[in-house]
Amino acid sequence: MFKKLIVLPSLLLGMYFNTFGQRQSVDVQHYGISLTVRDNTDKISGTAEITVRFLNSVGELRLDLVGPEIADTGMTVLKVTERSAVGHTAANGGKPGAPNSVKNVPFRQDSAAVYLTVSAGKDETHTYRIEYAGVPRDGLIISRNKFGKRTFFTDNWPDRAHHWLPCIDHPSDKAAVDFDIITPDKYTVVANGLKTQEVLMADHQKRTRYTEKAPLPTKIIAIGIAAFAVDHSADVQGIPVYSYVFPENKKQGLADYGKAGEILRFFIQQIGPFPYKKLANIQSKTIYGGMENASAIFYSEESVGFKYIEELMAHEIAHQWFGDAVTETGWEHVWLSEGFATYMTQLYLEHKYGKDTLKAELKDDRKKVIAFEKKRYTPVVDTTTKGGYTQLLNANSYQKGGWVLHMLRRQVGDSIFWKGIRSYFATYGGHNANTTDFRQVMEKVSRQDLGDFFQQWLYTPGMPELTISPSGGGLFTISQQQEHLFTFPLEYAIDDDPQIHTVQIKDRVTVINIKANHTIHIDPQINLLFEFGKGM
């Protein structure tokens, strides 16, 4: 996602984690989400049918859900039932589960979760129906837009879905999802997946259903309910592209969001097939500049007319492959989402506007990484953050992550880089991956050992801090000032000579010899993340 607009300002099978990092031996297969929203109250009525495969025998299933709080906020579970099993179980020889009568399931609830008393064996699949109600304090934002119109928008990243939905609120758990949403009939509903039904009901109500078969983590499950102007702006290789904007912003909004088709076409060509059945770009109430919900991207309500709308949209559309289809196994690997979206955006801009645009973007991002490092000295893969994961939305995850991909591209070459990117998506699309998974894919494709490269740029804090001093007679001394030595190719040019020279840096001090009385220009092509030290 884009952080809040200021100018407009390995295939994971095994243990899963709830939002507090506790191990759970379950894998959610499907969420069936039914919600009723009203205009005369912020209280919602919900039913979640959750199909769970048990990886081990357990007697209690814990689902993340914020319980009742003051002022009627939080979700109160009213009833839990279990219906017949679906799928295959070890107990019946791998055959589809036989129908069973609906039965009540004992449960208890605290401020953070609901606990179901179950009797589930290893490899069994069960479906539980949870009825609940309450006023969401977060996650589902019920408010008014800048035109004073009432709106309802989910805003789940990073682990805020459990404010309104019983779930396993962690990126490692991905599930298909269906929606059955009842609203006043004046509203339009948009959600992940394809719309399967929209019918008027009695008392000026409307029912809208969507279905998404691709597995999603809860962070990108999306429901948007508002008065919208809707446009079907393009079809790209069979993928319909839609724009949803507030009616007051119709002319400008549809023009702005109409840029999506060209962006989508570029990424499909470069990365691989679009992972979902549609792409909707939606003006919304989100705390971020943009939120990459799968097939239903939410943009800040101030995004219409935003000077950098094309860059913003490219970032969020790139996320559909990286962050959505390929989801990081845990928050510490969020660069696989944000760093990828950052650099894929820059590659789109390079494709459309030329290499100088890419260089300008990289120079600006390098300044941001240097500034961030002065405030927080930590590696890109940051395992120290426990809770409050929005703090990971920083220059390490975005700009430094993007820079790592740029340097990797330069090391392996353009064709191998794109081959690796396509292979990574083809291997892990629909699943989870971590940094090691990505490294192994790139090593296989490039036939290079990238262990040291990944270690120094992603697992080691900092970057090369260089001083470069003339030593007389055409000699220049290049010194690494930072604590940990880095190994990297340093490019330089002499005066206005177009030839690019390269020296391999690995020691504390390296001496190079050029013609006397000439000026040296370091990193003229903008290919290295580094800082000139104070001695320069």
> Do residue 484 and residue 448 come from a single domain?
no
> Do residue 450 and residue 480 come from a single domain?
no
Residue 89 has pLDDT above 80, yes or no: no
> Do residue 414 and residue 431 come from a single domain?
yes
Kindly provide the b/e burial profile for residues 133-167, where b requires at least 16 CB atoms within 10 angstroms of the residue's own CB: bbbbbebbbbeebeeeebbbbbbbbbbbbbbbbbb
Task: Kindly report, residue by residue over 375-414, the tens digit of the pLDDT.
Answer: 999 999 999 988 889 999 999 999 999 999 999 999 999 9
pLDDT at 71: 74
Task: Kindly report, residue by residue over 202-237, the tens digit of the pLDDT.
Answer: 999 999 999 999 999 999 999 999 999 999 999 999
Which of 279, 299, 319 lies at the terminal end of a domain, its last residue?
Answer: 319
Task: Kindly report, residue by residue over 275-322, the tens digit of the pLDDT.
Answer: 999 999 999 999 999 999 999 999 999 999 999 999 999 999 999 999
> Do residue 85 and residue 225 come from a single domain?
yes
Residue 326 has pLDDT above 50, yes or no: yes
Percent of the chain residues topping a pLDDT of 90: 85
Q: H helices of 307-428, where?
A: 309-319, 335-353, 355-375, 401-412, 414-428
> Do residue 425 and residue 524 come from a single domain?
no
Does 101 or 116 have the greater pLDDT score? 116
- 6 within a domain of the structure (yes/no): no
Determine which of 16-25, 38-47, 484-493, 516-525 has the lowest per-residue pLDDT on average. 16-25
Kindly report the pTM of this predicted structure: 0.93
CATH classification at residue 446: 1.10.390.10
> Do residue 485 and residue 433 come from a single domain?
no
pLDDT range class, residue 83, cuts 50, 70, 90: confident
> Which stretch, 62-71, 288-297, 508-517, has highest mean pLDDT?
288-297
Task: Kindly report, residue by residue over 331-375, the tens digit of the pLDDT.
Answer: 999 999 999 999 999 999 999 999 999 999 999 999 999 999 999
CATH classification at residue 475: 2.60.40.10
pLDDT at 276: 98
pLDDT range class, residue 4, cuts 50, 70, 90: very low
> Do residue 385 and residue 312 come from a single domain?
no
- Is residue 56 helix, strand or coil? coil
Structural domain of 102: 17-319
> Do residue 472 and residue 428 come from a single domain?
no
Does 97 or 11 have the greater pLDDT score? 97
Residues ≥6 apart with Cβ < 8 Å to 129: 47, 48, 49, 50, 80, 81, 82, 83, 102
The closest alpha carbon to 43, from 64, 79, 71, belongs to 71
pLDDT at 495: 84
Work out the average pLDDT over 487-498. 90
Work out how many domains the chain is built from and give that number: 3
- 1 within a domain of the structure (yes/no): no
Cα-Cα-Cα-Cα dihedral sign, residues 303, 305, 311, 317: positive
- 2 within a domain of the structure (yes/no): no
pLDDT at 160: 97
> Do residue 98 and residue 123 come from a single domain?
yes
The closest alpha carbon to 224, from 276, 184, 187, 197, belongs to 187
Distance, first Cα to last Cα, the chain: 37
Which of 296, 319, 342 lies at the terminal end of a domain, its last residue?
Answer: 319
Query: In the numeric block, which tokens belong to residue 125?
Result: 């699949």
Work out the average pLDDT over 155-159. 97
Which of 440, 458, 476 lies at the terminal end of a domain, its last residue?
Answer: 458
Task: Kindly report, residue by residue over 426-467, the tens digit of the pLDDT.
Answer: 999 999 999 999 999 999 999 999 999 999 999 999 999 999
CA distance readout (Å), 11 to 27, 69, 294, 419, 433? 13, 38, 19, 20, 6
> Do residue 382 and residue 509 come from a single domain?
no
> Do residue 290 and residue 246 come from a single domain?
yes
pLDDT at 24: 64
